[in-house]
Amino acid sequence: MLIGREDETATLRAVLDRVRAGGSEVVVVSGEPGIGKTALLQELRSAATGVRVLATTGVEGESDIPYAHLADVFRGAHDDIAALPERQAAALASAFAFGPSVPADRFVISVAVLTLLSAVAARGPLLLVVDDLQWVDRASREALLFVAHRLQAEPVGMVLAVRPRAEVVARLDRFRRIELRGLAPADARRMVEQVRDVRGRADTEALVVGSGGNPLALLELPLARRGRTGLLRRRGTPMPLTATLETLFSDTAHELPGRTRDALLLLAVLGPVPDAVLRLALLGHGLAPEDLDEAVRAGLVVHELGRPDFRHPLVRSAVYQSSASERRRSAHLVAARALDGAAVPNAEERRAWHLVWAGASADEDLAARLESTGDAQLLAADFTSTGHLFQLSALLSDDDATRAGRLVKAAHATRLAGEIDECRSLMVQASGLASDPATVLFLQYLICRLDLWAGDRLQSRDRLLELVRTHEAAGVVLDPYMHSDVALGSVEIGDFSVADDLSAAAVERAVAGGGPVPLGIAVVRAMVRAFLGDPGATVSLEARAGELDVVDPVTTDRDEQVLLLAGVAHLAAEDVERAGTLLQRAVVTARTHGAVGMLPFRLGRLSAFEFWVGDWGMSAAHSHEALTLAGDTGWRGERLHSLLACARTEALTGAAQRCRGHLDEALALAEVERSSAYLATAYAGLASLELASQEVAAAAAAGRRVEDFSRRSGMVDNPLVWWTGDLVEALVADGQVEEAAELVRGRAEVPSARPVLRAVLARCRALVQPDRFLEHVDEAHRWHARARMPYERARTDLVLGRMLRRQRSAGAREPLARALRTFEQLGALPWAEQARSELRASGVRLAAPTRGLSELTPQELQVTLAVARGLSNKEVAGQLFLSVKTIEYHLGKAYLKLGVARRGQLAALLATQAPWVEPAAGHQGP
């Protein structure tokens, strides 16, 4: 029976009610050891009538066996697993070690777990209870968190208990939290009264104070009170609890016979293993299972499901921590031996861990086996556990150079898995081991390159530049990719002059080295030149389109960024269709490989393309996904880009508040990172936001900041940073016509391959030269006709319509109506409003605006558009890492908002509101 804890119990019962009513909720219970988390969870479980409970408990020291705990959760659900889509079923069967081993990345597995949970929940409400989350193996933990973030429409409650100082706690911020503290003194006293040994009031009070109300301490301290009352009586400050309790537990253990203590230590070292393995280990140590009996009598060990286990995790750590390191090492060695060839999941890997903990000297044989298992897995893209294999292999290597090489492999795999901090620390370790100067240099280079996107951009760029300069000065022949990466880093911070020099140097060095210029170098060069407005920027890439089409953008290190950067180069050159093809392929391949570490970059740029061609729903959805994934993976630098990508559509779709929030954060980040390019992009976003809400002075101020940057850096307007049209219009509206005219006159000739920029500049000329207005607008329209950029075309229509309306010309209505239609289709609410009021002023009576796509949340839109493209709910679920139930949920809400009831109606609606969406062949069903 629980003492106290009324509020906490009520909260958890409310979770049960919610789940019974078909909703989902995630709650975190945190608190120090012994505070009563497990007891509270038990209370919850016993109250869960009518709710199916799945549960697992983390085990200290076992957190490196991938998916052990998920396998535990779903041990009774093998039939449900078999009913999943084939790839997911195979992935889970393999991860849970009851089916043949197939490679699968953590993303595939996480999605499969989500599908599985929602399948199980389809039969009735479900409660998932995870105790000691801090010791749940990392792979399971990742999958559980992935699922927790995506539960929406299924009747699933998730309650996670965790110790507060665990690393994982930082990642649970988004969930409701129950913070358990010590029991109230009255409750603590009640509890003490239930413990036999305590008689006098002084003892009781000493306990209440000394325990800080910790129930475990209340229960355990008196049991070993002999001679320790002095400690207990030290009033005022709570005792250093964990240490005290551990000492208590180990004291009990120390009184046991030597053989029992040895057996206990082995049990602590092994963790949960099949009985046969435990027996083998005991025998290997000259012990027998009966040697644990004394520990059972002493209450340290209980038999759970027929096999011995510690009564409390503290006992286990106490036994382990209090053993001399020599004894610990030999226990690990025995465990390793017992696991040799054992029928336990990941036996070889577990064995390797034990060897490492045993401080075993190198075992090159095992190390090499682990490495080749890793190599094989990497090719098949199983990144997280591959990283662990390489790490183990490195630890067991017998010379530093080999070890460094394996650490680099581990780093590569963890980066692909999207664990950037881990990746960096592995590379630092490797560089500490390498002795040959070329390797040292290469590793320094890799670290700088990582930091360009995960750390301080300016500093990393400078370090990389320094590396190149000093080594070249010393006559070292460098890999031209280094120059190219300096160029790339320089683009990131907006230093186009270094970017130009170094990207040219990279090409030069590559040519000097003989053979063709590597694609990776060519794309960076093209990108830099495109930002600088060079009309021939992408000529070299066009010649190599065939090569680009066959690049593997995931598993080969050097080619990994090629598609992305080529996409950006084409985008910057306004070669939009080609950019779209490349970026789409980059995203699709990353998704199918589950290479989540690459997705944020690719989604962010794809969203720029989608914005440009008028697919704003997708653009918003993808930029938001990029933002989430940048956070999930630790690519801190990419958060900045994702924020700006989100702001791009938000500025124009009436999400002003969200937009301002994103821009404020981006401005602050760009300031901290001293990245003038991102600062300029943020100001361009701000200008677009202010102009949309007709704050022309503010728009002009923001636009001027971008213009300044462009003057200093040489960057010209491009689909990624786009401001001149907004700035000129804001200046003119603000009465600064001369400044606007000056700016337009100062613009260099723009090549005809940039039709949208030419159109916008022609429109700008119309604004500053009213006497030649129509002539310039005509020219603008001629350029618009050559390109697919609906938004800017509508802006030109609006400018034309507004001017004609002021001249009281009947011709105003046509361009205004055209502008309105396009703005509405795009969801450009503030602009549609401007067009609407111009139309009204010209005497047109307008119906209320139609309900449209702009009312949908990014996720509803993403789902709606995917469905409209003809994908089944199941297919959409797979692509967006959501459950089918959640897809149905979003779709339902979208139907309501759009006022449609069937897929067919949805398609018809989209045909008018989002004509860019390719309709599906033959819509069927609701």
Ligand X SMILES: Nc1ncnc2c1ncn2[C@@H]1O[C@H](COP(=O)(O)OP(=O)(O)OP(=O)(O)O)[C@@H](O)[C@H]1O
CB of 150 to ligand X, least distance (A): 27
Check binding of 317 to Mg ion (CB under 5 A).
Answer: no
CB of 321 to ligand X, least distance (A): 14
Say how far apart CA 291 and CA 295 lie, in whole Å. Answer: 8
Question: Interacting stretch for ligand X, rule CB under 6 A, among 1-9, 597-605, 651-659, 907-915?
Answer: 1-9
Q: Report yes or no: 854 and 617 within 8 Å, Cβ to Cβ.
A: no
Angle between helix axes 903-913 and 858-868 (nearest 10 degrees) is: 100
CB of 340 to ligand X, least distance (A): 32
Q: Which does 35 bind (CB under 5 to 8 A by kind): ligand X, Mg ion, none?
A: ligand X
Say how far apart CA 263 and CA 265 lie, in whole Å. Answer: 5
Sign of the C-alpha dihedral computed for residues 915, 917, 923 and 926 taken in this order: negative
Q: What part of residues 123-182 is at the interface with ligand X (CB under 6 A)?
A: 132, 163
Q: Which does 504 bind (CB under 5 to 8 A by kind): ligand X, Mg ion, none?
A: none
Q: Which candidate, 879, 263, 281, 201, places its Cα nearest to that of 594?
A: 879
CB of 169 to ligand X, least distance (A): 13
Query: Would you state the structure tokens that stand for residue 221, as one six-digit string?
Result: 């301290």
**Total site size for Mg ion, rule CB under 5 A:** 2
**Residue with smaller CB distance to ligand X, 24 or 214:** 214
Collapsed DSSP state (helix, strand, coil) of residue 47: coil
Check binding of 314 to ligand X (CB under 6 A).
Answer: yes
Check binding of 34 to ligand X (CB under 6 A).
Answer: yes
**Residue with smaller CB distance to Mg ion, 172 or 789:** 172
Angle between helix axes 562-572 and 599-612 (nearest 10 degrees) is: 20
CB of 35 to Mg ion, least distance (A): 9
Angle between helix axes 829-841 and 790-806 (nearest 10 degrees) is: 20
Say how far apart CA 754 and CA 789 lie, in whole Å. Answer: 12
Check binding of 134 to Mg ion (CB under 5 A).
Answer: no
* HEC sequence for 156-179: EEEEEEECCCCHHHHHHCCCEEEE
**Residue with smaller CB distance to ligand X, 215 or 580:** 215
CB of 217 to ligand X, least distance (A): 9
Q: Please pick, from the candidates 33, 212, 405, 594, the single residue that binds ligand X as defined by CB under 6 A.
A: 33
**Residue with smaller CB distance to ligand X, 315 or 646:** 315
CB neighbours (10 Å) of residue 55?
14
* Secondary element (H or E) of residue 209: helix 201-211
CB of 262 to Mg ion, least distance (A): 26
Q: Which candidate, 796, 754, 792, places its Cα nearest to that of 773?
A: 796
Check binding of 838 to ligand X (CB under 6 A).
Answer: no
CB of 37 to Mg ion, least distance (A): 5
Q: Which does 215 bind (CB under 5 to 8 A by kind): ligand X, Mg ion, none?
A: ligand X
Q: Which does 33 bind (CB under 5 to 8 A by kind): ligand X, Mg ion, none?
A: ligand X
DSSP-assigned letter for residue 808? T
Check binding of 38 to Mg ion (CB under 5 A).
Answer: yes
Question: Interacting stretch for ligand X, rule CB under 6 A, among 2-10, 76-84, 86-94, 298-306?
Answer: 2-10
Burial of 258 (0-12, 13-18, 19+ CB in 10 A): exposed
Burial of 377 (0-12, 13-18, 19+ CB in 10 A): buried
Query: Would you state the structure tokens that stand for residue 475, as one six-digit string?
Result: 């006559």
Q: Which candidate, 613, 616, 611, 608, places its Cα nearest to that of 586?
A: 608
CB of 126 to ligand X, least distance (A): 22
CB of 183 to ligand X, least distance (A): 6
Helices (H), 513-598: 519-531, 539-542, 545-550, 562-572, 576-593
Collapsed DSSP state (helix, strand, coil) of residue 596: helix
Q: Please pick, from the candidates 12, 19, 35, 877, the single residue that binds ligand X as defined by CB under 6 A.
A: 35
Q: Please pick, from the candidates 9, 11, 17, 39, the single residue that binds ligand X as defined by CB under 6 A.
A: 39
Please give the full DSSP string across 9-35, using - where no structure is assigned: HHHHHHHHHHHHTT--EEEEEE-STTS
Question: Interacting stretch for Mg ion, rule CB under 5 A, among 29-37, 216-224, 413-421, 909-917?
Answer: 29-37
Q: Report yes or no: 28 and 175 within 8 Å, Cβ to Cβ.
A: yes
Say how far apart CA 116 and CA 135 lie, in whole Å. Answer: 23
CB of 9 to ligand X, least distance (A): 9
Question: Interacting stretch for ligand X, rule CB under 6 A, among 28-36, 283-291, 546-554, 835-843?
Answer: 28-36
CB of 270 to Mg ion, least distance (A): 20
Q: What part of residues 564-583 is at the interface with ligand X (CB under 6 A)?
A: none
Q: Please pick, from the candidates 28, 37, 727, 759, the single residue that binds ligand X as defined by CB under 6 A.
A: 37
Sheet holding 156-162, edge to edge: 52-57, 126-131, 156-162, 25-30, 176-179
CB of 198 to ligand X, least distance (A): 15
Q: What part of residues 181-220 is at the interface with ligand X (CB under 6 A)?
A: 191, 215-216, 219
Say how far apart CA 521 and CA 912 lie, in whole Å. Answer: 43
Check binding of 36 to ligand X (CB under 6 A).
Answer: yes
Question: Interacting stretch for Mg ion, rule CB under 5 A, among 33-41, 214-222, 560-568, 718-726?
Answer: 33-41
CB of 286 to ligand X, least distance (A): 32
CB of 6 to ligand X, least distance (A): 10
**Residue with smaller CB distance to Mg ion, 141 or 602:** 141
Q: Report yes or no: 268 and 316 within 8 Å, Cβ to Cβ.
A: yes
The CA–CA distances, whole Å, from 150 to 540, 811, 859, 877 equal: 44, 52, 12, 11
**Residue with smaller CB distance to ligand X, 7 or 173:** 7
**Residue with smaller CB distance to ligand X, 245 or 891:** 245
Question: Interacting stretch for ligand X, rule CB under 6 A, among 32-40, 422-430, 604-612, 660-668?
Answer: 32-40
Q: Please pick, from the candidates 157, 313, 374, 654, the single residue that binds ligand X as defined by CB under 6 A.
A: 313
**Residue with smaller CB distance to ligand X, 3 or 588:** 3
**Residue with smaller CB distance to Mg ion, 38 or 581:** 38
Check binding of 384 to Mg ion (CB under 5 A).
Answer: no
Check binding of 31 to ligand X (CB under 6 A).
Answer: yes
The CA–CA distances, whole Å, from 507 to 208, 483, 497, 516, 518 equal: 74, 9, 16, 9, 8
| Residues whose CB falls within 8 Å of the CB of residue 562, separated by 6 or more in sequence, listed in order | 519, 520, 523, 548, 551, 553
Say how far apart CA 292 and CA 319 lie, in whole Å. Answer: 13
CB of 160 to Mg ion, least distance (A): 12
Residue nearest to Mg ion (CB): 38
Q: Give the chain's length.
A: 926
Backbone dihedral angles phi then psi of residue 454, each to the nearest 5 degrees: -115, -5
Q: How far apart are the first and last CA of the chain?
A: 51
Question: Interacting stretch for ligand X, rule CB under 6 A, among 34-42, 400-408, 476-484, 818-826?
Answer: 34-42
CB of 344 to Mg ion, least distance (A): 25
**Residue with smaller CB distance to ligand X, 216 or 744:** 216
Task: Give how far the C-alpha of residue 856 lies from the chain's centroid of Cα atoms, to the nearest Å.
Answer: 23
Query: Would you state the structure tokens that stand for residue 585, as one six-digit string?
Result: 């392929």
Please give the full DSSP string across 296-327, using - where no structure is assigned: HHTTSEEEETTEEEESSHHHHHHHHHTS-HHH
**Total site size for ligand X, rule CB under 6 A:** 20
Q: Which does 314 bind (CB under 5 to 8 A by kind): ligand X, Mg ion, none?
A: ligand X
**Residue with smaller CB distance to ligand X, 24 or 38:** 38
**Residue with smaller CB distance to Mg ion, 59 or 448:** 59
**Residue with smaller CB distance to ligand X, 40 or 121:** 40
Note the residues at the interface with ligand X (CB under 6 A): 2-5, 31, 33-39, 132, 163, 191, 215-216, 219, 313-314
Note the residues at the interface with Mg ion (CB under 5 A): 37-38
